[in-house]
């Protein structure tokens, strides 16, 4: 149980275009989903917390107009990287949890390369 | 803000040797979780510790939560090549009560 599906696994896009990443909890209802960014050989940096039916809470330094998050249902959250630039190239991972303090279940991640 | 540091950053061992990674938080934690991330993969939950001084075991893995609830350790006995990966602790605490990931320890095991 507790499977989180993230799509796509990898994407290459041109500078200036937008990319949407989907995160789905397949067998449980995720009241909260989290979006992380991970640079090579580094830790996970929390970008934003996404609560179903409400606006996402962004971490300091993360541009909410650039990284649009929508959590339309208890099983789906999306992250859209708008007007992507090469410096946005990274590994983006979502995670989901049911109850507060329960473990996080991670998606497989999306490797974004902006050319 | 809250910081969670891990040492060492990297450890290379021969198969069969033991391995320990240490996790230290700048603030008191309500709980701590450990995750393993294989190369190219995503973090996978291993365990959660809640009580002061708590020790939990999973086969060759021993997890410990410090008495002051500001540090934790993961010890692997007799490492195997399947243990390769980055081990992250993640602590919840501080004013925001957010889950903050540690800096991670990359374990390499030579057969």
Is pLDDT at B13 greater than 80 in this prediction? yes
The string of pLDDT tens digits covering residues A27-43 is 888 888 999 999 988 89
The confidence score (pLDDT) of residue B99 equals 87
- Distance, in Å, from the CA atom of A38 to the CA atom of A48, rounded to the nearest integer, reads 13
Would you call A108 and B102 a contact, using CB atoms and an 8 Å cutoff?
Answer: no
CA distance A49 to chain B (A): 10
Banded model confidence at residue A1, pLDDT cuts 50, 70, 90: low
Residue window 31-90, chain B: list those with CB within 8 Å of chain A: 31, 33, 35, 41-45, 48, 88, 90
The string of pLDDT tens digits covering residues B23-63 is 999 999 999 999 999 998 999 999 999 999 999 999 999 99
Contacts of A103 in chain B (CB under 8 A): 33, 45, 48
CA angle A11, A13, A16 (to 5 degrees): 140
Would you call B100 and A46 a contact, using CB atoms and an 8 Å cutoff?
Answer: yes
Mean pLDDT of chain B: 94
Contacts of B106 in chain A (CB under 8 A): 41
Is pLDDT at A67 greater than 80 in this prediction? yes
Most confident of A7-16, A30-39, A89-98: A7-16
């Amino acid at each position: 149980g507790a499977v989180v599906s993230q799509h796509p696994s990898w994407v290459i896009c041109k500078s200036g275009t937008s990319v949407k990443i989907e995160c789905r909890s397949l067998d449980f209802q995720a009241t909260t989903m989290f979006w992380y960014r991970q640079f090579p050989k580094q830790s996970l940096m929390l970008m934003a917390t996404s609560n179903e039916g409400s606006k996402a809470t962004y971490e300091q330094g993360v541009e909410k107009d650039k990284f649009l998050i929508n959590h339309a249902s208890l099983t789906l959250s999306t992250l859209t990287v708008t007007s992507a630039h090469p410096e946005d190239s990274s590994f983006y991972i979502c995670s989901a949890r049911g109850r507060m303090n329960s473990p996080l279940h991670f998606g497989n991640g999306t490797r974004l390369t902006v050319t | 803000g809250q910081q969670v540091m891990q040492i060492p950053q990297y450890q290379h061992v021969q198969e069969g040797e033991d391995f320990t990674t240490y996790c230290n938080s700048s603030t008191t934690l309500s709980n701590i979780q450990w995750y393993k991330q294989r190369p190219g993969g995503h973090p996978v939950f291993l365990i959660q510790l809640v009580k002061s001084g708590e020790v939990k075991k999973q086969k060759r893995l021993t997890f410990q939560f410090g008495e002051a609830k500001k540090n934790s350790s993961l010890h692997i006995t007799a490492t195997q090549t399947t243990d390769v990966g980055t081990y992250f602790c993640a602590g919840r605490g501080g004013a925001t009560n957010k889950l903050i990931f540690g800096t991670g320890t990359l374990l390499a095991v030579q057969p």
